[in-house]
Amino acid sequence: MKYLILLSFCLFFLNVSAQNAIEHSEPDSIRKTVLATYYHPKFEGRRTTSGAKYRAKKLTAAHRTLPFGTEVTVTNPDNGKSVVVKVNDRGPFVKRLAIDLSESAAKQIGIFKKGIAKVKLSYVLE
C-alpha cells in the first residue's frame, strides 16, 4: 500500500512538472554575433529580391539565407539598443558581413555612420 501511494505521488509530481515545462518553455531561437552594415542611400526605391521596394524609413534587412519575412532582433552590444527587422532582400555579398540593415534600423541601434559594426542576431525559424 505504501508503494502504491508513493508511486501515485511520483506520477502526479512528474505530470505537473511536465505541464509546467510545456507552458513556460520558449520557442528555440537562434542567436549569433555577426558583422552588420546598412544600405547605401542610392538603393532608395529600388526593388529588393522579394519584389518590395527598399525604403530607408522601414525596418527591413537583407540576409543571404534567411527566408523572406523572418523577423530578426538585431542588438548593438556596445549600447544594448535593439530593433526588430523583417528580411525582404538578399545580401550582403561580402562574406564577412551577415546582414544589411535599412537606414532607419541602423540609426535606431546606433550603428549608422560606422560602416560596419558587430551586432547580435536573434530569430526563430518556423
The CATH number given to whatever domain includes residue 112 is: 2.40.40.10
Is residue 6 one of the residues assigned to a domain? no
How many domains does the chain divide into? 1
Q: How far apart are the first and last CA of the chain?
A: 48
What is the residue-level pLDDT of the chain in tens, covering all 126 positions? 554 444 444 444 444 344 443 333 356 889 999 999 999 999 999 999 999 999 999 999 999 999 999 999 999 999 999 999 999 999 999 999 999 999 999 999 999 999 999 999 999 988
Per-residue pLDDT, 126: 80
Is residue 10 one of the residues assigned to a domain? no
Is residue 2 one of the residues assigned to a domain? no
Is residue 61 one of the residues assigned to a domain? yes
Residue type, 54: Y
* pTM attached to this predicted model: 0.78
| Residue 13 Cα distances to 1, 76, 110, 118, angstroms | 18, 43, 49, 46
List, in order, residues 6 or more apart from 16 with CB less than 8 Å away.
none
Is residue 107 one of the residues assigned to a domain? yes
Is residue 11 one of the residues assigned to a domain? no
3-state secondary structure the chain: CHHHHHHHHHHHHHHHHHHHHHHHCCCCCEEEEEEEEECCHHHCCCECCCCCECCCCCCEEEECCCCCCCEEEEECCCCCCEEEEEEEECCCCCCCCCEEECHHHHHHHCCCCCCCEEEEEEECCC
Is residue 5 one of the residues assigned to a domain? no
Q: Which domain holds residue 37?
A: 30-123
Is residue 82 one of the residues assigned to a domain? yes
